[in-house]
Amino acid sequence: METSLITTGGINGTMRRCTKFLLGVATGAALLGHAAPVFAQSQAQSLESAIEQTSFSGMVGAIDFNYLNDAHTRYDTHSFAVGGDLVAHTGAYDGFSAGLGGYTAQSLGIYDRNPNGDNTELTGSHHSIQTFREAYLQYQDHGVELRFGRQLLDTPFANEDMYTFNPRAFMGVAGVVDLIGPSNDKVDSAPLSLNTSTATLSVFAARMFTVDTRYSSSFTQTTNELGYPLGALNGFVAAGARYQNNILGTHVSVEGWYYNFYHLAQLVHGLGEFITPITPHNNIFGAAQFSVEGNSGGGESALGAVDAHIYGAKLGVSYDDDNIALVGDYSPVAYNSFRHGGFVHPYNNLSVNEFTDTMQDGVSDFGPGFGYGATANLSLLNDRLKLSPYYIRYVVRYGYGGNFYGYNGPYGFPAGADIPNEQLWTAGMNAAYDLSAILPGLSLADAFDADAVQNKAGAGLYSNPFISNRLYFEYKF
């Protein structure tokens, strides 16, 4: 995930870093980030010298989650944890280096006295998570970067979703190759991604076999955070390409992705973006995207027939480091398929892929319908304070009150009556304050989200509003 609330550095810097706060609704997922060590690609003369060049980075902090009327019930839940991570990355010898990253989250028992209100989102069911989520061998030379082993990824539909202390991690092999244009050629421990590439044309490929979710401490084939009623999965393959260039003063970026989530679905995703200057301080920016999903290879998926489509657009204007935009997503109905057009995404969770994704809501979870609204990013107090407000309205063709994780009804819906054309509204604000004047690497951040869902006679009663607040205090080194 990107670590800043808004990108600076002009048109080229903005597009090449492709901050998700510029092109999608900001969520709590990006308030945590990595302090990845980066050092020049100078080859060590011996294995001993490579080990001596080992660099360390990490983060320690505290996180407090509070959910009022959690999931539109009448119950409040809470979670608090202290934790962090420590990542080591050796120097490079003949292009090879190695990385090891340990992650931990520990409950202090603040909310344990009320079991009904004790949310285990931060620390898992045992109130404690410790695991080596990264343990890999890396090869990097002349625009080629390959990793083997436990690692983090930053791709649209298989990523870390790092809004807790424990990012989602994968076991397998992945690589990025810069084909045309300048290559970064820096050795680091950041998640493999096309977003950070400086090349004109770059490609990505991965084959992952197991996953360690944010709520567990082991890599398995049988765990998925969205609760799909499945047995063992054989992981996934992913392939992507990204082209970026300046054309007549406009920076253009186009990327395409293919995923096969074995036994679940195949996905094709495309995204096009542009930023063009209108004055020395103002830019117009926009983007369009699509996500199309069908059955996994070899026949019907374990969830039944999958036939999902999501189309989105964004258009905005920026002034220096501030911007505002209109966003929209649309997903058509596909009768007799999983949730009549529902989207399947086992390895990400509202990661700001769709332009109207928010902390708790998104078209990719709600199923067929649409969402639209406005987003903004503001930089205040000499860039020390970053604010990202948003407002989104959704209309869900087959509503179910936000119960994403029930699949025991017809076509994979939750059991019970659906709510035709259910309306939902969400508004929120993310804030981050840079405390580096006190101590370099110190920061305080908060993500607030309030949701209201339409109630209809005979379709159940949902408590409004569902308020989510996530507070982060962290030190990166």
The pair of structure tokens assigned to 227 is 């609760």
Q: Which long-range contacts (CB under 8 A, 24 or more apart) does 126-130 make?
A: 129/83, 129/103, 129/104, 129/105, 129/165, 129/166, 129/215, 129/216, 129/217, 130/102, 130/103, 130/104, 130/217
- Determine the pLDDT at residue 298: 61
d(CA 372, CA 60): 37
Where in the chain are the domains? 10-476
- Determine the pLDDT at residue 216: 82
Contact yes or no for 131/212 (Cβ under 8 A): yes
- Determine the pLDDT at residue 32: 64
Query: Taking Cα atoms as reference points, which of 34, 52, 33 lies closest to residue 42?
Result: 52
- Determine the pLDDT at residue 138: 95
Contact yes or no for 237/259 (Cβ under 8 A): yes
The CATH code belonging to domain 10-476 is: 2.40.160.10
- Determine the pLDDT at residue 13: 34
Based on its alpha-carbon atoms, the radius of gyration of the chain, rounded to whole angstroms, reads 22
pTM (2 d.p.)? 0.89
d(CA 322, CA 6): 8
Mean pLDDT of residues grouped by 10 in the chain (477 residues)? Answer: 29 34 46 56 76 92 94 89 95 92 92 76 87 95 93 94 91 96 77 90 96 86 70 85 95 97 92 96 97 80 88 97 97 94 87 87 90 97 96 90 72 80 93 96 96 73 88 96
First-last CA distance in the chain: 17
- Determine the pLDDT at residue 437: 95
- Determine the pLDDT at residue 404: 67
- Determine the pLDDT at residue 194: 93
**What's the helix, strand, coil split of the chain in %, to 5?**
10, 50, 40
Strand pairing category for 442-453 and 466-476: antiparallel
Which residues, 6 or more positions from 272, have their beta carbon under 8 angstroms from its beta carbon? 252, 253, 254, 255, 287, 288, 289
